[in-house]
Structure 1
């Protein structure tokens, strides 16, 4: 409509949008609830892991001897003395053998067990429960159990070998031959860590669609070819995690060689040398240095395993 002055008066239509709501003058602050919930765990990790780690790094550059105070800065002197210590060098060789044997055996056996348990069958839950038992037992308890098996006088292993006429009489199995001692000790550790490897690989196998195996079977692929072309490639994330936990366990093995073989050099590991240097020789500075080196080597080996074994799988 038009006014007498000739100006048009705006007319509101039904389609006209209402004016936008006024902006809130006060913005909502950040949500602090997630940080509050995570704070106790973060504080626990800092106190339990990061603080001791920093303390170890700092003390590894000092001469810390409770019988010869005060502490003195020696730079890389503790690390240099480790490379000239024959016991440490021998333990390093033993530990590398532990890693090679342990990682290889636990990975192969873990994959075999996981493939066996991949498809449901009657009693599968019971088998998995029994499988976990060796992993759930403490290393010292396992060492004591296997001491009876390796006993030179009335051990089960000597009895079986004699019954099968593989040996004429009972023998001392541990502490005499270096390779045999390491093999038998690592057999005990493999018995402990393989169940976890199997469960980790089994978790990866459960994510593989059954349609892939059905398609491979229709195409005429044999079970072995399906294993090589489907199972192994798609299970690589689980295999990588299993290998990493095996590397960590074997590089830091202590309970089994200490219980089964004592302080004998034929089976001593690097962690055992850390104990001997720190608490028997009271040379804590060198013990800190060796602990730091073991940590760095463990981290390096784990990164290499993840780098060359792990592959991201997209189905």
Structure 2
């Protein structure tokens, strides 16, 4: 009969053809196939070495004193009894405090400057990224020409301004001056990333908030304190975390500029010397494990103190 529609019912899975089921199964496996190479890469280069470090930190691994044997917490006890290590721990804390504070303050200032569009903004951002893109060793070599005691630019400028009457040695003489000057080099490297992270957070702040603040009579500083800083806290927190990680693991700049001298030595330099100069790999593993745990705890502390969820 014309116009009559037969009742229909949904087709169940059991009634689908084998070809359709096979096609659907392949589609479901596709995301896992795409993620598998990255997962293997992460497990092979991160998780396996991390697990190996945890296990070997409880063993005596010394090529000059074989065989490898279990000593429990012996490596950790030896670490805390080493006076040179205590010196490098204090030095590293100095790097962390100076580097995190300066890179965060400068990163916020740069991000606020770049928040609004102006002629040459894109070019300025590209130039800003260059120090972050350079390897730490290259930066150390570049800044050697600035801090050098014989032909350094810093000495030349100070003598030209008649602030000093002869060239001076700045690195290696005074402990805290050495740490500060070396950390300036690392700040030059990590500040661009901090600025970009904070800038990304600033780009999400609605412009209507600033317009309303101006209508209410808020000054530029008041708008910065009451709008910019609170709403940029997620980006600031991430910037501070990356600064903490970089400064806790600083190696290239102190080693290139000051070598293994105790005045500016860091924990990572001490780890390198223990492992590859003294060939005491067990103690090196233990020290690496402590640095990793400290980095994790300090990063979580920064997130807890600074990060706040922002909803617009």
What is the 5 A alignment of 1:123-272? 123-272=120-269
Q: Within 2, Cα distance between the matches of 1:164 and 1:80? A: 52
Shift of 1:161: 1.3
Structure 2: runs of 5+ lacking an equivalent: none
Q: What is the CA-CA distance between 1:284 and the residue it aligns to?
A: 0.3
Greater displacement, 285-294 / 145-154: 145-154
* Cα distance per residue 1:41-65 (max 9 Å; x no partner): 0000000000000000000000000
Match for 1:302 among 293, 299, 302? 299
Q: Please, which of 40, 43, 49 is the counterpart of residue 46 of structure 2? A: 49
1:98 maps onto 2:95 in alignment: yes
After superposition, give the CA deviation of every residue in 1:142-176 in whole Å (9 maximum; x if it has no partner).
Answer: 10111111111121111111122222211110001
- Tell me the equivalent position of 1:119: 116
Alignment RMSD (CA, Å): 1.6
Higher helix share: 2
Shift of 1:20: 2.9
Residue 59 of structure 1 corresponds to 56
Residues of 1 paired with 2:40 and 2:94: CA distance?
Answer: 38
Change (3 A) 1:122 1:62: same
Deviation track 1:244-302 (CA, whole Å, cap 9, x = no partner) reads: 10000000000000000011000000000000000000000000000000000000011
Shift of 1:23: 2.6
Aligned partners of 1:23 and 1:276: how far apart in 2? 68
Deviates more, 1:151-160 or 1:277-286: 151-160
CA apart distance, 1:24: 3.0
- Give 1 or 2 for the bigger CA radius of gyration: 1
| Structure-2 separation of matches of 1:256 and 1:150 | 12
In structure 2, relative to structure 1, the CA distance for the partners of 1:64 and 1:121 (3 Å cut) is same
| Shift, 1:136, TM fit | 0.8
Give, in angstroms, the shift of residue 15 of structure 1: 11
Q: CA deviation at 1:215?
A: 0.8
